[in-house]
Structure formats: structure tokens, C-alpha cells
Amino acid sequence: MLQLVDIRKSYRLGPDEVQVLNGIHLDVEAGDLLSIMGPSGSGKSTLMNILGLLSRQTGGSYLVNGRDASTMDDRELSTFRNASIGFVFQSFNLLGHLTALDNAALPLVYRGLDRRERRRRAGDILEKVGMADRLDHKPNQLSGGQKQRVAIARALAGAPAVVLADEPTGALDSHTAEDVMRLLAHLNREEGITVVIITHDPEVSRQCRRRTRIRDGLLVADDDGAPGTAGP
Ligand SMILES: Nc1ncnc2c1ncn2[C@@H]1O[C@H](COP(=O)(O)OP(=O)(O)OP(=O)(O)O)[C@@H](O)[C@H]1O
Ligand SMILES: [Mg+2]
């Protein structure tokens, strides 16, 4: 469903060009539970931003359900993003002045649903992630793990086909990290949501069905150490 073919990405900084991705091949299939590991600065978030259509590659092609993303204009990109992709960020990115319920309902603002319906759906999803008793709490009244669950609920509110999670457990203690990971695995298994997780944590990666690693701007399968098997 998401197909990266020979993806390259470089950043221009004054006279210098920083080459980050050097030809990434990756086929994310519907129903995958996939982890991406790699050292800090290796390009994981860069890759995630390309997968999530938040930034464009400088070389190679990206096919989304068979369609070349470079042929989509900004409006098509944001429509697709809003309909199909849920993002979970390491730093939660919740709005401090909104309650858990209204944070989770946020992506639905662009769906043309009225407030009541948005809040009803967001409430259902917060219940699913075990937050039914915290709907009216603001982020500073929630623990780290609870904030991350609200962030996951927000990612799920629009019923996306794919959830892209950048270090979803990075800010959590190991016990809470395990809960969040169990939740993502459950959503993948029971609801068929495709989940891509960037992580530093081998324990998180271990729970994923497919494991990859970024090395020297290339993606390699981690399962058996054999290179190239992560791509087509
Ligand atoms: N806008 C930018 N301009 C120039 N260089 C950038 C830019 N964004 C990222 N980089 C560089 O690209 C490289 C990859 O960054 P990226 O954020 O993808 O790393 P990462 O693997 O997510 O790291 P971390 O694990 O620390 O989050 C880094 O060396 C970074 O300095
Ligand atoms: Mg990063």
C-alpha cells in the first residue's frame, strides 16, 4: 500500500548538501506491524515524514496505493493524509488548553462533522484506549502514558488505514511503554490497522512482526540480518 522505491533525501545547508537517505526500498503492506530502528540522526524521522506525506523525497519514487505521490498537489496530499494516516509523535503534541476529549476529536474538524458527533467518536476511541475516565482532563492533568494514549486516540480518531508512530514510547518508563506497545499491537491485530513504529527500544521492536534498521541511509531487514529483504 505504501511503496518506497530508491528513496533519497538530502538537505541543503548553505553550500553543503547533507545526504540522509541513500536509496530506501520499503513496501509497507496492509496489516503490517513494522518497526524501524537506527541511531540518532540516521534519518528515521526524515523517512517517517516522507511516508506520512509531510515532506517530499529528493530522489526515487513513492507510490501510495499505486499512485505516484509526486503527481499529487498539496491539496490532494492533505486530503489523503487526513483520511488515511494517523500520526503519533514522541512529544505527544497535544494542545494544552484542550481536554483529552477535544484533543482526540481534533482531526475530525476537517471531516465536516458537527461538534457533538466529533466528541462522540473521540469518546468511543478514548474508551478503547482505556481513557474513558479522563475525558475532561487537560494534558497537564495526565501522566505521560495517559498523554500518549490520548495522542494515539487522536491518531485513530479519523479511522486511518495507517498509523505512523515516531518513538511512541520514547518518553515513557518501561512499564508504561509496554502498555502503549500492547495497545498498538492490539489495534494492528484486531482492527487491521497498519502500524509503523520508529523506536530506539529493542523491546518495542521485538514485538513487531517486521523489523527493519536504517544503516548508512539504507534500510535493512533486522529479522535475520540478511540485507535487502525489507524492500521489493
Ligand atoms: N531541515 C534540515 N536541514 C538540514 N539537515 C537536517 C534537517 N532535518 C534533519 N536534518 C539532518 O538529517 C539527519 C536525520 O535527521 P532525522 O531527524 O531524520 O534523524 P532521526 O533518525 O529521526 O534521529 P533521532 O533518533 O535523534 O530522532 C540528521 O543528521 C539531521 O541533522
Ligand atoms: Mg527522530
Q: What is the pLDDT of residues 42-90, one digit of tens each?
A: 999 999 999 999 999 999 999 999 999 999 999 999 999 988 999 998 7
pLDDT of residue 198 exceeding 60, the answer is: yes
Question: Of 35, 42, 212, 215, which is best to mutate to test ligand 1, by the most ligand atoms within 8 angstroms of its C-beta?
Answer: 42
Residue 122, pLDDT score? 95
Ligand 1 centroid to 143 CA: how many Å? 28
d(CA 87, CA 166): 8
Protein residue closest via CA to atom 13 of ligand 1: 41
Residue 106 Cα to ligand 2 middle (Å)? 24
Residue with cell 534519518: 43
Q: How far apart are the first and last CA of the chain?
A: 12
- Distance (angstroms) between ligand 1 centre and the Cα of 42 equals 7
Ligand 1 pocket test target in 11, 55, 90, 198 with most atoms within 8 Å of CB = 11
Q: What pLDDT, on the 0 to 100 scale, is given for residue 225?
A: 41
Q: Which atom of ligand 1 is nearest to the CA of 42?
A: 21
- Full-model pTM: 0.90
Q: Are 195 and 32 in contact (CB under 8 A)?
A: yes
Residue owning the nearest CA to atom 14 of ligand 1: 43
* Residue among 135, 112, 198, 128 nearest 163 (CA): 198
CA of 190 to the centre of ligand 1 (A): 34
For the stretch 98-147, pLDDT in tens is: 999 999 999 898 888 899 999 999 999 999 888 999 999 999 999 988 99
Ligand 1 atom closest to Cα of residue 214:
21
Average pLDDT over residues 168-194: 89
Q: Which ligand number lies closest to the CA of residue 39? A: 1
The per-residue pLDDT for 120 is 95
Query: Average pLDDT for residues 7-20, to the nearest whole number?
Result: 94
Which single residue is written with the C-alpha cell 541513500?
A: 22
CA of 55, nearest ligand number:
1
What would the grid cell of residue 156 be?
A: 485513530
Ligand 1 site, CB within 6 A:
11, 13, 18, 20, 38, 40-46
Q: Strands 59-64, 2-13: parallel, antiparallel or unpaired by DSSP?
A: antiparallel
Confidence label for 223 from pLDDT (cuts 50, 70 and 90): low
> In the chain, what are the domains?
30-58+73-221 (3.40.50.300)
CA–CA separation, 175 and 188 (whole Å): 20
Give yes or no for a contact between 43 and 93, defined as CB atoms under 8 angstroms apart: no
Q: Taking 70 as the threshold, does the pLDDT of residue 224 lie above it?
A: no
Using the mean position of ligand 1's atoms as its centre, give its distance from the Cα of residue 192 in Å: 31
pLDDT > 70 in the chain, percent: 95
pLDDT of residue 71: 95
